[in-house]
Structure 1
Amino acid sequence: MAMYSVFVFMSLGYLAKKMRLLGDRQGNILLGFLLNFALPSAIFTGVYHSSVSLELLGLFALALVCNLAAGALAFVFVLKVLRLCFATALTIAFLVSLHNTLFLGVPIVQGALGEQAAHKAIVLDQFCTGLPLAILTPLLLSLSSGAKFRLRAVGVRLFANPLFLSMLCGFGLKAMPFSIPELLFAPILSLAACATPVALFAIGVQLRFDFLRLQWRRVGVVLGFGMVLTPMLYLGFLYVFGIGVQEDHQMVLLEVAMPPLISAVAVIARAGLDSRLAISCIVAGVPLAAFSTPFWLYISHL
């Protein structure tokens, strides 16, 4: 049922673009509402209402390690085995390391595991996607252009990001010795409820299928490392350390099996790298998630 809703909202966005119901101006307004109001509200309420333990933070750290390890392995494979150029290897490594844990991952987790798991998935997104994106973006831009990498750019990007600031506000208020009356959350929850349909609609607006047939081999490499190897690494760690798979472990598993991050397209284009490959990976990865999600859930029960 969750995947049905995902595809309905994305299809509406795609049809709106094809039928020219949305122009650039309307699209920018939609994106601005999503990034500055709906998603920050979802993150704030998700952080405030979630119970984040040290064990869960450890799982987030493990997910981040698996993401970056898969990205590093993809970089070496593309450069040394496939013998493609440095720019292509950099593009593929960036796409493998960052997953669509918020726009696509949270709705899927909510449909598969429930609302409490979705709240935790929102927190995971900031640790495993938002924070790495803020660090890797200046690094990618410096590697692609030869400019110097500056930590100040990372800090500026983080503290200018409404999503990151909403997470800090959520944790800050959660640490207070008093509780916020639920009545005050009513408008925030209304905005947060818009986040999932608007985000999926925005994905549909950005879908383009014309590049996919030209890039399918490289797309296979990205999705193979990002959507197959990464969750296998995660499950491998759990197996080696004898950790039984519970709901939190399943939530993290579904998130690390998500396709590449939508925002990665803009970063890759800004760096002058292969944005067509990034678009193709997203186009192929989103429907693939419909089949991989029940597969990984089944594997986690074995």
Structure 2
Amino acid sequence: MLTAVIGVFCFSLGLLLQKLPKRTSSAVSKWINKYLFYLVLPALALLHIPPMELSWSVLMPISAAWFTFMLSWVIFGTLGKYFHWDRTLTGCLIIVPGLANTSFMGFPVLEFLFGPEALPTALLIDQAGSFLLVSSMSIVVASIYGTGSSKPKLILLKIISFPPFFMLLASLAMSVFKVSVPGMLLPVLEVIGKTMAPVALIAIGIKLQFDLPSLKSRYFWLGMSYRIILAPALILLIYSETMDPESLEFKVTVLESGMAPMITGSLVAIEYQLNPKLASQLAGIGLPISLATVLLWHFFLRL
């Protein structure tokens, strides 16, 4: 409950900051994004990835996040070429609907529905799925569609110069070689990491525009339909063949696949100028919409 109250407050604060002079609000938005990308995401990588131990038994839930992101790339990349969409629109629709809000929304919703027993699976999906994706593949997509250049050297340079990706590689190396983060740094990393969701909601609030024509946009509903309907439906159909449909792990995997578009994914899109308005709407307005559909999916799984 406290998480929801803090979230609403921070989101409302972001909306209020829109009332500042345009130059001031733009500067605030820029510094918030720098804080998130240059400090918070690297801190989260150091905090969660080095102690992670992956095994075959946990790969199925994790793979669902990767499957839905890559499928988003295939679907929206194909549609973009066929209908001659602007590259920034295509990139936005690949990244933002392709990533689910598996932590800020996913953790409290799943704990409410299933209890704390659901959190270990949810954490795996979030850290080895969503977080790795937003720190790696989303940067690849953003670099390709954001620069408008297909030159591999330019794309590679943009990817490796992005701080979260660099720290992701370092954290993965620490995990492989069993190198732990010094204990004195852990409390600092935890404090920084906890600011991710509230600060990101402020960033979304600053960019979000509640205008009726935008909500009538077919691109908004295309992205939302993929995230809250098609993605969980495919996970339900495909993963029921390899996982026990009655297991808690299966139900958590399906519901995590139907959460709202990931806030951090929308910030990547905004940072790379991939249709910032649409990106903020998908992550912001998508939260209350997907809350209703997740409850419907939960009811369906109980039948």
Q: When the two structures are superposed, what TM-score results if normalisation uses the length of structure 2?
A: 0.76
Deviation of residue 241 (structure 1)? Answer: 3.1
Match of 1:24 among 18, 23, 26: 26
Q: Residues of 1 paired with 2:269 and 2:232: CA distance? A: 20
2:133 maps to a residue whose letter is C
Q: Deviations over 1:257-299 (max 9, x none)?
A: 3326313245454xxxx55544443443232133233334444
2:93 is aligned with 1:95: yes
Change (3 A) 1:151 1:235: farther
What residue number does 1:107 align with?
104
2:135 is aligned with 1:130: yes
Deviation of residue 163 (structure 1)? Answer: 1.6
Deviation of residue 90 (structure 1)? Answer: 7.7
Q: Residues of 2 paired with 1:120 and 1:78: CA distance? A: 28
Q: Deviations over 1:194-235 (max 9, x none)?
A: 222211221122211126446433322221123210111111
SS across alignment from 1:174: helix
SS across alignment from 1:240: coil
Deviation of residue 87 (structure 1)? Answer: 1.0
Deviation of residue 238 (structure 1)? Answer: 1.0
Q: Deviations over 1:1-56 (max 9, x none)?
A: 34444333212221233366963333322221221112221222121344433343
Q: Residues of 1 paired with 2:38 and 2:81: CA distance? A: 38
State whether residues 14 and 205 of structure 1, in contact with CA within 8 Å, keep that contact through their aligned partners in structure 2: yes
What residue number does 1:200 align with?
201
Residue segments in structure 1 that go unaligned for 5+ positions in a row: none
SS across alignment from 2:54: coil
State whether residues 229 and 258 of structure 2, in contact with CA within 8 Å, keep that contact through their aligned partners in structure 1: no
Q: Residues of 1 paired with 2:259 and 2:180: CA distance? A: 35
Change (3 A) 1:267 1:174: closer
State whether residues 132 and 168 of structure 2, in contact with CA within 8 Å, keep that contact through their aligned partners in structure 1: no
Change (3 A) 1:3 1:128: same
SS across alignment from 1:124: helix
Change (3 A) 1:122 1:153: farther
State whether residues 49 and 119 of structure 1, in contact with CA within 8 Å, keep that contact through their aligned partners in structure 2: no
What residue number does 1:190 align with?
191
Deviation of residue 108 (structure 1)? Answer: 1.7
Match of 1:86 among 84, 88, 91: 84
Q: Residues of 1 paired with 2:143 and 2:180: CA distance? A: 38
Residue range with higher mean Cα deviation, 203-212 or 55-64: 55-64
Q: Residues of 1 paired with 2:176 and 2:279: CA distance? A: 39
1:228 maps to a residue whose letter is I
SS across alignment from 1:202: helix
Match of 1:35 among 25, 33, 37: 37
Q: When the two structures are superposed, what TM-score results if normalisation uses the length of structure 1?
A: 0.76
Residue range with higher mean Cα deviation, 199-208 or 70-79: 70-79
Match of 2:74 among 72, 75, 87: 72
What residue number does 2:167 align with?
166
What residue number does 1:287 align with?
288
Q: Residues of 2 paired with 1:220 and 1:159: CA distance? A: 33
Match of 1:257 among 256, 259, 265: 259
What residue number does 1:151 align with?
152
SS across alignment from 1:29: helix
1:140 maps to a residue whose letter is Y
State whether residues 209 and 283 of structure 1, in contact with CA within 8 Å, keep that contact through their aligned partners in structure 2: no
Residue segments in structure 2 that go unaligned for 5+ positions in a row: none
State whether residues 126 and 164 of structure 1, in contact with CA within 8 Å, keep that contact through their aligned partners in structure 2: no
Change (3 A) 1:217 1:266: same
State whether residues 45 and 168 of structure 2, in contact with CA within 8 Å, keep that contact through their aligned partners in structure 1: yes
Q: Residues of 2 paired with 1:203 and 1:110: CA distance? A: 20
What residue number does 1:233 align with?
234
Change (3 A) 1:243 1:119: closer
RMSD of equivalent CA atoms? 3.5
